[in-house]
Structure formats: structure tokens, C-alpha cells
Structure 1
Amino acid sequence: MPRPIHCILLVDDDPDDNFLHQVVIEDSELCDHVRVAENGTEALRYLEDTGNPEYIRPDLILTDVNLPGMNGFEFLEHYHQLDAPLKSRLAVLVLTTSLAPAIHNGQLPYLM
């Protein structure tokens, strides 16, 4: 029986969080594949690498905010600049324990 979500891309630099999220996702049996990127740059590279035989197009991206190099907010800004086919039918959710004021004040204009 096909699962509701084919692939989830986790974007987080914390290996413990990635492990926990991957276990919970796999145990839920709602997803066929989980891919992990440790920062925003790596996630963008993955999304654009459609010719790679290991590539599986994600249906859902779960990103942290506090990432090394390109943080989660910067990743979202760059994500919105990707070609439309790379973004079609793809949901992006911020999954974080961050206390970033922009999150709590609803000041995320590029999430529209």
C-alpha cells in the first residue's frame, strides 16, 4: 500500500535531533524515505541535484532555524527562488526549539 508521503527532507545540524526525527517518522509508517541535510546549503544542493540516481524528490521539508552557514531563514529565502518545478507540491515546515523573536512575533514575510 502506498504511503501518504514518499520522501521527507530533514534540514538540521544536530545528529541527535535527526536520529530522533528519523526514527519517529519511520515508525509512523507514513513515509517511504527520509533524507537528511545538515544545513541550508546542503539542502538546496540536494533539491537541485535531480540527476543524481540517489535523488528522491521530497514531498515535505522540515527545517531547523539555527543552522551553520546558511540558517533556516536564509534557506527559505533561497528556496523561494528555486525554479517552480522544484517547489511544486512541496511543503516546507519550520521545526525548531529556537527562541528566535521572528518566529514568535510572526515576522516571517517570505513564508507567504
Structure 2
Amino acid sequence: MHQLASILLVDDDPSTNFLNEAALYPLRLTDTYLTAHDGEEALALLREQTQATPEQPVLVLLDMAMPVMGGMEFLEAFRGLPASIQAATVLVVLAINMSSVDMSRLGEYPIAGTMSKPLTGDRLSTILSLHFNGRAAGR
């Protein structure tokens, strides 16, 4: 099983990013954690992830409600990234509340899954086993 190239936490709340990283760290999925406070920062960081591959992807945990560029806007802009970046990126949406309209729209985008906040290791393990076919796991 391969380790992830990195995990990108995209949330405008620094304390949420900190708590998410704390929940993820014991799983030993990666040595590299990145944070972005909105979708624009996240897109810029994805463009820089040259070491990521489909076999060793970047996992993006995406909040939906953010200033500047929210989650839906990020998902739309993600489609415009080069195919190599899209193939090496696994998107998981994290949200507390989402409208049914937004939930139905998620099917239009290449996301691997959704999770409600707060993030826990158990929830992430379930997403990994269901959606990533074991291609990312701890060392």
C-alpha cells in the first residue's frame, strides 16, 4: 500500500485545520500536510504538487463554506486544472450542513466522498477503504 503524497486541508477556520490534522496524524497517511484557507489558495497549492501521482495522490479535504472561493466554486475551477493534476488528486468534501440542492450538485464533480464534520480517523478510514481501493494507507 502506498502513502499519500500529501494531504491538503482546505478550510477558512485555522482551528478546524489544526483539529483535522491532529485526527489524521495517527493514521500516518503522509508526512506532508498543507493548509489553504479558501479555494484559490487550494488551487495554487495543487498546481505545485509535482510529486503527486495517481498511485500516490494528494488527498484534499474540502470545506464548502469559505470566503473568497467556496467549495462549489473550487470544484468548478478544479475541472480546469491539467488532467495530470486531476488524476493525482482525491477530493473529499467535509461539511456540517449542506442544502439538498448543493448535495445533489456534488454528483457533477469528481469527488470520492463526503463526510460530516468533525473529521475522525474512523470516518476517514471508511472513506479510504470505500473509495480509494486501498491505494493509500499508513506505513
Q: TM-score by structure 2 length?
A: 0.67
The unaligned stretches of length 5 or more in structure 2 are 111-139
SS of structure 2 residue aligned to 1:24 = helix
What is the alpha-carbon root mean square deviation over aligned residues?
A: 2.1
Give distance in 2, aligned partners of 1:4 and 1:35.
15
1:60-112 Cα deviation digits (max 9, x unpaired): 111000011110000000001111011113210101113333344x2324315
- The equivalent of 1:64 in structure 2 is 63
1:3–1:27 CA distance, 2 compared to 1 (3 A):
farther
TM-score, normalised via structure 1 length: 0.81
Which AA in structure 2 matches 1:92?
Answer: L
Secondary structure of the residue aligned to 1:5 is coil
How many residue pairs get aligned? The number is 106
Residue in 2 aligned with 1:108?
106
How much identity, in percent, do the aligned residues show? 33
Instruction: Summarize the alignment of residues 41-60 of structure 1 with structure 2, pairs less than 5 Å apart.
Output: 41-50=40-49, 57=52, 59-60=58-59
How many angstroms apart in 1 are the aligned matches of 2:17 and 2:51? Answer: 18
Taking CA–CA contacts closer than 8 Å with sequence separation of 6 or more, which of the two structures ends up with the larger relative contact order?
A: 2
Matched residues in 2 for 1:56 and 1:14: separation?
A: 27
Matches within 5 A, 1:4-83: 4-50=3-49, 57=52, 59-83=58-82
TM-aligned CA deviation for residue 56 of structure 1: 5.6
CA contact (8 A) 1:61 1:90 kept: yes
Unaligned runs of 5+ in 1: none
State whether residues 77 and 110 of structure 1, in contact with CA within 8 Å, keep that contact through their aligned partners in structure 2. no
Alpha-carbon deviations, 1:2-61, whole Å to 9, x = none? Answer: 8532311111011111000011111221222110000000011111235xxxx7645211
